[in-house]
Chain A
């Protein structure tokens, strides 16, 4: 069975601070995909990143960066110089295949950036 754990339920930081959202996953599959989504108050899921299990390179996209460590089954997400617009619920998800397999979502982390 697949499982995604986001231990941080809620995080609040002051604007411009860096913040890291944790994600730990469990799977028996040798090939799998990890995702991060942002859900603003409007409810629509915004895709942030997809990473396959064979690619452990960290990735940076603007103020966002991701740290994938297979040894600890973690896929953490860091926002540097946080902004108020970053306030949202962030979900980490795990999929067995790229597109046609269901995603298992973590419980989400509600991030509040205080101006």
Chain B
């Protein structure tokens, strides 16, 4: 099956700093990538949808200036959490799709801890 990787798998950063999370489709071209956030013992909530070469579409309540998403190529999307705060600590999961008739493939997730 298709493989999606995320890097880093875990990151700890200090409050006020920015952290970048990468999501890569390893063996297919991802026209669409999704970023989800999962707080402890809660469900996955979609943050944004990004299509290659265009601006991301953010879900209601997600600050686009705080969570910068870039989908510059068909195999890479990045999520940058700017000026991170402890409340941003969460599990971030990306998924990738290679078209309207194909399923989404999920990455292994990135656990962010902001101290």
Q: In the complex, which residue of chain A has the Cβ closest to the Cβ of B47?
A: A102
A104 to B104, CA, bound (A): 13
Contact: A100 with B99, CB < 8 Å? yes
Q: In the complex, which residue of chain B has the Cβ closest to the Cβ of A102?
A: B46
Contact: A98 with B49, CB < 8 Å? no
Q: Is A97 an interface residue (CB 8 A)?
A: yes
Q: In the complex, which residue of chain B has the Cβ closest to the Cβ of A93?
A: B44
Contacting residue for A44 out of B98, B99, B106, CB 8 A: B106
Contact: A47 with B103, CB < 8 Å? yes
Whole-angstrom distance between the Cβ of A102 and the nearest chain B Cβ: 5
Using C-beta atoms within 8 Å of the partner chain, give the interface range for chain B.
20 to 34
Interface residue count on the A side (C-beta < 8 Å): 21
A66 to B4, CA, bound (A): 27
Contact: B32 with A100, CB < 8 Å? yes
Q: List B contacts of A37 (CB < 8 A).
A: 106
Contacting residue for A98 out of B46, B102, B105, B109, CB 8 A: B102
Grouping DSSP codes into helix (H, G, I), strand (E, B) and loop, the A interface class, with mixed when no group exceeds half, is: loop
A110 to B41, CA, bound (A): 9
Contact: A45 with B43, CB < 8 Å? no
Contact: A107 with B42, CB < 8 Å? yes
Contact: B49 with A102, CB < 8 Å? yes
Contact: A99 with B91, CB < 8 Å? no
Q: List A contacts of B105 (CB < 8 A).
A: 47
Q: Is B97 an interface residue (CB 8 A)?
A: yes
In the complex with contacts A44-B109, A99-B100, A91-B49 CB distance below 8 A: no
8 additional contacts, CB 8 Å, given A103-B44, A105-B44?
A44-B108, A45-B109, A91-B44, A99-B98, A100-B31, A100-B99, A102-B46, A103-B34
Residue ranges of B at the interface with A (Cβ–Cβ < 8 Å): 31-32, 34, 41-46, 49, 91, 93, 95, 97-106, 108-109, 111
The 4 nearest A-B residue pairs measured at CB: A99-B97, A99-B102, A45-B106, A44-B108
